[in-house]
Chains A and B, each alone.
Chain A
Amino acid sequence: MLLKRLAVFTAIASCLSLAERAIPLLPPWFKPGLANCVTLYLAARGEYRLAFLVTVARGFAAALVFGGLFSPAHIFSLAGGLASVLVCIALCRFLSGCLSFYGVSVASAIMHAAAQLCMAALLFLSREAVLGIAPFMFAASVLTGLLSAAVARRIYIQAE
């Protein structure tokens, strides 16, 4: 049963992830993060293991589709995805009484960007470059986090 649900949610998340790559004229560091709606929805339902597995699986699915398995882009995506899903699960598990979808989603998106920046600094970027791009990535994360939260909340309310 878990495998079936994993396949379904991974397929949905992968489709969303691939669809947002078709959006033209976005800076390379800006992704709307539509696939995070799936992770947030699952974490909000308390399906933490599934949320984690879907995040990892969709990272590999996207990398396989674009032929970039274990490329820098894949490593960034995996690092960001793991950081964001772990924060999302932790907040849903321990702070669900005082946070809504919006707070959890923004915190996850910020952690996603922070993990990607840390990975970039470890792999090949200088400290100046990371600090230079960080405020733009964090600002984008707040916006995309709010957007993902609105979508995930809507799906959650409809589904429940």
Chain B
Amino acid sequence: MSSLRSRFTFGDGAVIALALALILALFTSGGQGRRRLEIRTPDGRWQYALPADRVLTFAGSAGPFIAAINAYTITITETHCPDGSCARMGPLSRPGGSIICIPQKIELVILAQDADMEADSVCY
């Protein structure tokens, strides 16, 4: 039988501190420069420079998929996936942030725009 302690120990504190340090490092590692929105669908990839103000419609695997861009914030306004969980994820604005709709096979990612980064395709 394992002799796991029942009270909180210094080791527990170390594990939690390590986890929090990892979370903090991941939170602060997002890019701070200009941003682009990349949308990946089975039909291809599209990129949009941010800030922008527009409504995008894509044909997802389960029906139309509509995303609204308002400045740096992207919100899913319509999707036809079974439970709409991608719309429930809330607005997307942080570099590195993403919304993934597995049933629709659509992925939205905000990329930090590095100076030397080559875009596959850019649409304005």
State the A residues within 8 Å of B (CB). 25, 27-28, 43-46, 72-73, 92-93, 95-104, 106-107, 110, 124-126, 128-129, 131-135, 138-139, 141-142, 153, 156-157
Contacts and interface: CB of A to CB of B under 8 A. Distances in A.
Nearest to B12: A103
Nearest to A98: B11
Contact of A102 (B8, B23, B29): B8
Interface string B16-53: 10011011001101100000001010000000000000
Contacts of A142: 16, 19-20, 23
Given A106-B19, A126-B109, A100 B2 contact: no
Interface in B64-96: 85-86, 88-89, 94-96
From A25, A97, A132, A139, residue with most partner B Cβ within 10 Å: A132
26 contacts: A27-B85, A28-B89, A46-B2, A72-B102, A96-B2, A96-B5, A97-B5, A100-B5, A102-B15, A104-B4, A107-B19, A110-B22, A126-B40, A126-B109, A128-B110, A128-B111, A129-B100, A131-B26, A132-B95, A132-B109, A133-B98, A133-B100, A134-B26, A138-B22, A138-B23, A157-B6
Contacts, number: 117
A43 B6 contact: no
B54 interface: no
From A100, A125, A128, A131, residue with most partner B Cβ within 10 Å: A128
Contacts of A134: 26
From A73, A129, A134, residue with most partner B Cβ within 10 Å: A129
A114 to B, nearest CB: 9
